[in-house]
Amino acid sequence: MKKTKSNKAWFLVLPVFILVAFSAIVPLMTVVNYSIQDIFGATRYFVGVEWYREILNNSRLQDSLVRQFVFSGSVLLIEVPLGIAVALMMPKAGKWSVVTLLVLALPLLVPLNVVGTIWQIFGRADIGLFGWGLNALGMDYNYAANPMDAWFTVLLMDVWHWTSLIALLCYSGLRAIPDAYYQAASIDRASNWAVFRYIQLPKLKSVLLIGVLLRFMDSFMIYTEPFVLTGGGPGNSTTFLSQALTKMAVGQFDIGPAGAFSIIYFLIILLVSWLFYTAMTHGDSK
Amino acid sequence: MAEIHLKSLAHSYNRHAEKPEYAIREMDHVWHDGGAFALLGPSGCGKSTLLNIISGLLKPSDGEVLFNGVKVNDILPQDRNIAQVFQFPVVYDTMSVFDNLAFPLRNMGAGDAKIQSKVSEIAEILELTEVLKKKAANLTADEKQKVSMGRGLVRDDVSAILFDEPLTVIDPQLKWKLRRKLKQIHQKFKTTMVYVTHDQLEASTFADKIALMYQGQVVQFGTPRELFEQPNHTFVGYFIGSPGMNFLEVKRCEQGVCLGEKIFPLNELEKQALQMIDSNNLKVGIRPEFVHVWDDPDDSAYRAEVEFVEDLGTYKIVSLRLGEHLIKARLQEDQKVPKEHAFISFPEQWLMLYIDEFLVAKDDHNEEN
């Protein structure tokens, strides 16, 4: 068969190309453009990797990066097992399963800045039930003054807000396991732990992969909630990367370093997401 | 190993509804120790339900399940010491084939040496030795089902092994081979095996005795030959054989039963039964294999019109019209095919009388069925 060659086919790809260009490539290249130049009004100098070097040596940003990793790590370590546990305990059918699903979905529907506000008030020692309660129990809790308390509150807020996502994903994953697996396991005299380890967990892998990636990316980019709750304080103790970036770009108008920072930020997320993906899908083809 | 006795067993999935529907209608049945049995029946007749009741995955709503005379209704499947293979392959994806096969043994606390020898023995029989180290997730559907079966077979102390249409997903060629393997395994270990299927060929090649199920009850339990020659319910006649039994609705008459003006002779037992039971639901049945087809008129033969002939390779099925009935007869390869009409006769020996769909036995010896 003779193949017809026609370059007209390129026109068919054009809409996608334009769309992707405007949604990703053009904005990203703008940032790249800023990150390699020093701009004063109308004058601009090419500075190469100078901003990158400066950003990588900035100790405040290094601190933020460490803080960010600790935060995302804690979020994953708490929310993933907790979400799985909640999903395992949820009723499988009937009216109570609907009720639990609704209750679990509620936090996901609350706007981010409202979540921050809720916890800001909830945690206050004078008028917030949570803060007042802890103090009434004899604990010296004050998230606005004590970095540990601030961290605890930010983490608790995130767990409250997002564990549902993991739980709902796992719940749907668990419901998709055919009964025959459980039946075979009981015939094989498998213990509950073995059922979890060899049936449920492997079958949850694909939903967990989505859950872990979503939670990693979201928590790594967290901005609104800690900004509303603690404003990054006390001191810089809850200042995460996105807040540091905003300060630099919008507050101090250091477009060049902020551009370099953005690119590094983006590459870190890409790298870590890729690592998670590879680690979790690794070993499928042995 | 055990004898499995189902005593006044019945099961309904909606027992507390106003009008409960019974998937298993009250029945008594015994699976003898060490036999190879098939549970045969059309889809939805309750075969799988019955199997799940035996293994304990389902709790019967009425009656008892006895293993060697001990009631096991309240014993969980894991404690019943039973193996079951399901219709679709169930493997533990993250484990290797070896670990899959070893899993039930490990759960029982078997020693390493025993696991090693048992797994390699079963892997050898099922031809899985080559893939023992492979991860179960990466097997083909055939191999996965073999692993599923292997997990049922590794335990040599089980009361029974239950198969729920295990070869549905398997290639036809391999199907035949695996069925023979199962038969060999049965001969070697003499474990009670119950094999659920809707395929009569599969049932008769695997089993010593077949239980034919219809509408939630075992209607006949016998050797493949008994089911073929003396189906004790019209459904058995219809379901077993290809094509099924011919049935003719008949009426009482002085000499026995009649079809129009034709009289079918009956023996003494049949006549007695006819007198005792006051029912007008009377049928005679004869297998297509036993219908005699003649070219020329004969004293006992009826003239029938040839409707059509199906050529099935080694034999032909001819459909003949006798009054308002269509009768199928099987012709041998070398037999001449009648053109427009033929003369057919029904040998008395193979002509069965059914009252209210149940067979009237020709001799006392068969009463027990």
When mean pLDDT is compared over A71-75, A123-127, B167-171, the highest value belongs to A71-75
| pLDDT at site A283 | 58
Amino acid B58: pLDDT:
86
Min Cα distance A277 → chain B (Å) is 17
Q: Provide mean pLDDT across the span A122-142.
A: 86
At residue B365 the predicted structure's pLDDT band, cuts being 50, 70 and 90, is low
Mutate to test the interface with B, among A177, A183, A188 (most CBs of B within 10 A): A188
Identify the band that residue A88 occupies on the pLDDT scale cut at 50, 70 and 90.
very high
Give me the pLDDT at residue A72, please.
Answer: 93
Predicted ipTM of the assembly: 0.77
Confidence check: pLDDT of B1 > 90: no
- Is the Cβ pair A198, B95 closer than 8 Å? yes
Give the pLDDT score at A284: 57
**8 Å CB contact of A198 and B83:** no
**What pLDDT is attached to residue A100?**
92
B97: its two tokens: 């084939």
CA B8-B357-B41 angle, 5° bins: 60
The predicted structure's pLDDT at residue A286: 45
Give me the residue label for tokens 């087809």. Answer: B293
Quickly state the pLDDT bin for B20 (edges 50, 70, 90). Answer: confident
CA dihedral over A109, A112, A114, A117, signed as positive or negative: positive
**Cα separations in angstroms, A166 against A172, A193, A210:** 10, 20, 9
Count CB pairs under 8 A between chains A and B.
60
Per residue in B111-158, pLDDT (tens digit) is 888 898 889 988 888 888 888 888 888 888 888 888 998 898 888 778
Q: Given a cut of 60, is residue B366 above it in pLDDT?
A: no
* Helix/strand/coil for A37: strand
Q: How does residue A2 score in pLDDT terms, banded at 50, 70 and 90?
A: low
Mean pLDDT of the residues in chain A: 87
**Which chain B residues are Cβ-neighbours of A283 within 8 angstroms?**
135
Interfacial A residues in 194-213 facing B (CB < 8 Å): 194, 198-199, 202-203
Residues of B in contact with A203 (CB under 8 A): 93
For residues B251 and A205, give the distance between their C-alpha atoms in angstroms, rounded to a whole number. 68
Q: Are the beta carbons of A180 and B93 separated by less than 8 Å?
A: no
What pLDDT, on a 0 to 100 scale, did the predictor assign at position B201? 86
Q: Which residues in chain A touch residue B101, judged by CB atoms under 8 angstroms apart?
A: none
Task: Say which of A186, A283, A286 has its CB closest to residue B78.
Answer: A186
Indicate the CATH number for domain A67-239: 1.10.3720.10
Ordered by start, the domain boundaries in chain A are 27-57+254-286, 67-239
H, E, C per residue of chain B? CCCEEEEEEEEECCCCCCCCCEEEEEEEEEECCCCEEEEECCCCCCHHHHHHHHHCCCCCCEEEEEECCEECCCCCHHHCCEEEECCCCCCCCCCEHHHHHHHHHHHCCCCHHHHHHHHHHHHHHCCCHHHCCCEHHHCCHHHHHHHHHHHHHCCCCCCEEEEECCCCCCCHHHHHHHHHHHHHHHHHHCCEEEEEECCHHHHHHHCCEEEEEECCEEEEEECHHHHHHCCCEHHHHHHCCCCCCEEEECEEECCEEEECCEEEECCHHHHHHHHHCCCCCEEEEECHHHCEEECCCCCCCEEEEEEEEEECCCCEEEEEEECCEEEEEEECCCCCCCCCEEEEECCHHHCEEEECCEEECCCHHHCCC
Q: Does residue A77 carry a pLDDT above 90?
A: yes
| Percentage above 90 pLDDT, chain B | 3
Averaged pLDDT, A122-128: 86
B84–A178 CB contact, under 8 Å:
no
What pLDDT score was predicted for residue A1?
59
Residue B369 has pLDDT above 50, yes or no: no
Tell if the CB–CB gap between A188 and B107 is shorter than 8 Å.
yes
On the question of pLDDT at B57 being above 80, the answer is yes
Q: Does A285 touch chain B (CB under 8 A)?
A: yes
Query: Which pLDDT score, from 0 to 100, does residue B364 have?
Result: 61
